[in-house]
A = this chain, B = another copy of it.
């Protein structure tokens, strides 16, 4: 005799699959829905079902989208000579919310991480090559700027230099310019608590004022 009804166990089991969610948290989440008087469980179920059915990946940038080509990639006002390479769709959201970038994106789908068994073949490098070629044809000989916006950690750095190697020839020819997001102290940071690498990068990247 199991204490919990099977349908409840099933929901707990599904929630436990989420990264960082253990069985206790999953149970708590499930009980929230059992206690909720306004059928929140049904609402979440419907939302998830809709998402599962409607969501696809943009064939240009591989961001999540409900269209074959997303709103950004089909926008006529976006700069056609800039491509920002990010790890995840949420990174695109971060850029868009801060309204500091006006070019296109490319979502790699992660970073090279030998520790987690993620190699170059698990990421969208082939599609990236294709997209870059396409953009180069589109701007017809003008310089394409690739901004590598992977996270400032070991894996992000390794992935950035992999991308650098990929386009070595084009960079030498001057048809592609590859840049990396600046590293240094974040706004509001306290020098006292900055780690060594951040301080090193902040010094290296110092600018005259």
Contact surface of A with B, Cβ cutoff 8 Å: 1, 3-8, 10-11, 13-15, 17-19, 21, 27-35, 39-52, 54-55, 64-66, 71-72, 75, 88-90, 92-93, 96-97, 109
Asked whether A15 lies within 8 Å of B44 as measured between CB atoms, the reply is yes
Residue pairs across A and B with Cβ atoms less than 8 A apart, 19 shown, are A3-B72, A3-B93, A4-B64, A5-B64, A6-B66, A11-B47, A19-B28, A27-B93, A31-B90, A33-B48, A34-B64, A34-B89, A42-B48, A44-B45, A44-B48, A45-B45, A45-B49, A45-B52, A48-B48
Beyond A3-B72, A5-B54, 14 additional pairs, beta carbon < 8 A: A1-B75, A3-B92, A3-B97, A4-B64, A5-B66, A18-B29, A19-B28, A21-B29, A27-B93, A34-B64, A34-B89, A39-B52, A44-B45, A48-B48
Asked whether A47 lies within 8 Å of B14 as measured between CB atoms, the reply is yes
By DSSP majority rule, is chain A's interface helix, strand, loop, or mixed?
helix
In whole Å, how far is A101's beta carbon from the nearest beta carbon of chain B? 12
Given contacts A40-B14, A46-B45, contact A33 B51 (CB under 8 A): yes
Residue of B nearest to A30 (CB): B51
Chain B residues within 8 Å of A3, by CB:
72, 92-93, 96-97
Cβ contact of A90, chosen from B27, B40, B66, B93, cutoff 8 A:
B27
Please give the count of copies of this chain that the complex contains. Answer: 2
Chain B residues within 8 Å of A50, by CB:
7, 10
In whole Å, how far is A164's beta carbon from the nearest beta carbon of chain B? 26
A75 to B27, CA, bound (A): 25
User: Residue among A7, A17, A51 with the most chain B CB within 10 A?
Assistant: A51
Asked whether A44 lies within 8 Å of B7 as measured between CB atoms, the reply is no
A15 to B66, CA, bound (A): 20
Asked whether B48 lies within 8 Å of A11 as measured between CB atoms, the reply is yes
Chain B residues within 8 Å of A11, by CB:
44, 47-48, 51
Chain B residues within 8 Å of A65, by CB:
5
Asked whether A44 lies within 8 Å of B89 as measured between CB atoms, the reply is no
Asked whether B34 lies within 8 Å of A41 as measured between CB atoms, the reply is no
